Structure 1
Amino acid sequence: MRTAALETPVITDADFQKFREFFYRKTGIQFDDSKRYFVDKRLIERIEATGSDNFRQYFVGLRFESKGEEMQALVNAMTVNETYFFREQYQFECLVNSMMDEVASRRRAGQRIRIWSIPSSTGEEPYSIAIYLLERWPRINDYDVEILSSDIDTQVLQSAQRGLYTPRSVANLPKPYLAKYFTEQKDGQWLISRDLVDAVEFSRVNLSEVNDTRKFRDIDIIFCRNLLIYFDDLSRRMAAEAMFDALRPGGFVCLGHSESMSRISSLFAVRRFPDAMVYQKPMEGGA
């Protein structure tokens, strides 16, 4: 075990290279040289937290642990989660003005419509979807709408299920929505209603792990925004294939404004709606 007298661990260039190759294989997330300071800082925190003497001792323990608890703690430390309610709002407009109606046209009343938000981060996106549907899609009560939300980081999933948000996080919400779905706390934070928390099913998923994604099937709409920018080309293609397999024919994918499925995979067709451009899994038979 490390003692207070020991010096702060040092991450060498070779250590950094070894670690980022390992982390990439496990998660699909690629750290380039510009992220060196961030990676070193978080690695040193985990080395010290586990009582390891140096990177080598920590890395050996990480690779051969049986339960995977430290790997999950490391993933939690290395993933960046910054978001807010109604981010890139034009896609939520597209959801209620175009995509939901098209999906519903292929279902009978009462049938299930499934929406998957990945990454969940701290919950702002799936809860934004829920609020938009409740407030802006007139046919919400005619269908069984299921909202699923996933992340690789277990800490942010716990935070999402608590549903406690800063004033900055809720700044874009219209005041009537804030009053209807949130309760202000004594410390100035906002607690989301339990009805909304119960409306979203949260789960831990690594988009690069086939065993995690194969349980997601018959999805109608996927929101996967600002995640693929952290992947390399191979990991992006694998993620695109996982989403393709998860979607029903005719299902939609929404990516972040700086991401393009057309540069990743030819599996999807581009759909240009009045509010947004999204990507669609072709209908069976090419219809």
Structure 2
Amino acid sequence: MKATALNRRQEITDADFLKFRDFFYRKTGIHFDEGKRYFVDKRLIERIEATGADDFRSYFIALRFETKGTELQQLVNAMTVNETYFFREAYQFDCMVKDMLNEIVKRKRPGGRIRIWSIPSSTGEEPYSIAIYLLERWPLIDQYEVEILSSDIDTTVLESAQRGVYSARSVGQLPPEYLARYFKQRNANEFVISRDLVAAVDFSRVNLTDASDTRAFRDIDIIFCRNLLIYFDDLSRRVAAEAMYDAMSPGGFICLGHSESMSRITPLFQPRRFADAMVHQKPIKGDRA
């Protein structure tokens, strides 16, 4: 009863919503339209209650002026949606091992380094899918030093990814032999990924629209950035696209979600159509953009 009464006292007004939306956008690049109003209000009220603030005004003042950013990170974790599964949109992984990597290695010395970046990492299904695909389906995996990087703005999902415990639904698209090889079944609905795969991925917290977060990423050969830019407005999309462009090696490739198009965001990349997928490429010096 007490919690119900508190919920009735907490109300996010139209003015509150606009204040919060502008603040969150400045901090993350994520834009909430009116269609997300119920979701935003619900999560805000949960954080107001969790922190013991009296109302939105007192919560928002404390949020704006906190020095360590602890509550902001908790809020980001609450406001970001993470739903994925292993081998999602696997045609792009097929393109990676059949086409993209074969072009990339032509510009590498024998035994050279290949860097692949998955952002957002969510709970780890995508970067671990990349690792499994490389181990199982790329014949040259033993001939190059491959680094898999994976990032997210949500620290909760990064922790979940490093724990590596997945539901039956999450692993449902994996071939049975891969499931047996890389997972241990704990019970009917829990599968624990191999610690060797966990060690193969370098996880980090990154805000793709914050230059101080992205400047450490350089010489990336392939980026998977799927279904993230749809949460940004036009300006934030351009900022994110330029950050990824700066992070990539010339000739590197980027994979977006099936409903996303880089050509609507920036002319920096060239579209490339392979047998399995349409991707985007950073031009090599001398190539025409």
- Aligned with 2:280: secondary structure? strand
**Are residues 1:42 and 2:71 paired?**
no
> What is residue 236 of structure 2 aligned with on the other side?
235
Q: Deviations over 1:104-147 (max 9, x none)?
A: 11112211000000000000000000000000000000000000
**Are residues 1:160 and 2:157 paired?**
no
Q: For 1:119 and 1:109, locate their aligned partners in 2 and report how far apart those are by CA, in whole Å.
A: 30
Q: Deviations over 1:52-77 (max 9, x none)?
A: 00000000000000100000000000
Q: For 1:72 and 1:179, locate their aligned partners in 2 and report how far apart those are by CA, in whole Å.
A: 36
Counterparts of residues 3-82 of structure 1 (less than 5 Å): 6=6, 7-82=8-83
- Aligned with 1:132: secondary structure? helix
Q: For 1:8 and 1:218, locate their aligned partners in 2 and report how far apart those are by CA, in whole Å.
A: 52
**RMSD (Å), alpha carbons:** 1.3
**Are residues 1:129 and 2:130 paired?**
yes
Asked whether the 8 Å contact 2:168–2:188 carries over to 1, the reply is: no
> What is residue 214 of structure 2 aligned with on the other side?
213
Q: For 1:128 and 1:8, locate their aligned partners in 2 and report how far apart those are by CA, in whole Å.
A: 45
Q: Deviations over 1:182-214 (max 9, x none)?
A: 000035310000000000000000001000000
Q: For 1:84 and 1:74, locate their aligned partners in 2 and report how far apart those are by CA, in whole Å.
A: 24
Asked whether the 8 Å contact 2:25–2:31 carries over to 1, the reply is: yes
Compared CA separation, residues 4 and 83, structure 1 to 2 (3 A):
closer
- Aligned with 1:161: secondary structure? helix
Q: Offset at 1:5?
A: 6.4
Q: For 2:46 and 2:287, locate their aligned partners in 1 and report how far apart those are by CA, in whole Å.
A: 52
Q: For 2:220 and 2:284, locate their aligned partners in 1 and report how far apart those are by CA, in whole Å.
A: 14
Q: Offset at 1:8?
A: 3.5
Q: For 1:200 and 1:240, locate their aligned partners in 2 and report how far apart those are by CA, in whole Å.
A: 23
Structure 2 residues without counterparts, runs of 5 or longer: none
Asked whether the 8 Å contact 2:152–2:206 carries over to 1, the reply is: yes
**Are residues 1:224 and 2:225 paired?**
yes
Question: What TM-score do the two structures reach when normalised by structure 1?
Answer: 0.98
One-letter code aligned to 1:259: E
One-letter code aligned to 1:229: I
Runs of 4+ in structure 1 deviating by more than 4 angstroms, as ranges, are: 2-7
Q: For 2:255 and 2:243, locate their aligned partners in 1 and report how far apart those are by CA, in whole Å.
A: 14
**Are residues 1:182 and 2:179 paired?**
no
Asked whether the 8 Å contact 1:8–1:44 carries over to 2, the reply is: no
Q: For 2:206 and 2:186, locate their aligned partners in 1 and report how far apart those are by CA, in whole Å.
A: 31
Asked whether the 8 Å contact 2:217–2:247 carries over to 1, the reply is: yes
Asked whether the 8 Å contact 1:113–1:143 carries over to 2, the reply is: yes
Q: Offset at 1:256?
A: 0.2
> What is residue 248 of structure 2 aligned with on the other side?
247
**Are residues 1:109 and 2:110 paired?**
yes
Q: Deviations over 1:88-112 (max 9, x none)?
A: 0100000000001111111122110
Asked whether the 8 Å contact 1:223–1:253 carries over to 2, the reply is: yes
> What is residue 280 of structure 2 aligned with on the other side?
279
- Aligned with 2:54: secondary structure? coil
- Aligned with 1:284: secondary structure? coil
Taking every aligned residue pair, what percent have the same amino acid on both sides? Answer: 72
Compared CA separation, residues 3 and 35, structure 1 to 2 (3 A):
closer
> What is residue 203 of structure 1 aligned with on the other side?
204
Q: For 2:180 and 2:187, locate their aligned partners in 1 and report how far apart those are by CA, in whole Å.
A: 15
Q: For 1:246 and 1:210, locate their aligned partners in 2 and report how far apart those are by CA, in whole Å.
A: 11
Asked whether the 8 Å contact 1:117–1:222 carries over to 2, the reply is: yes
Q: For 1:88 and 1:3, locate their aligned partners in 2 and report how far apart those are by CA, in whole Å.
A: 42
Q: How many residue pairs were aligned? A: 286
> What is residue 98 of structure 2 aligned with on the other side?
97
Q: Offset at 1:285?
A: 2.0
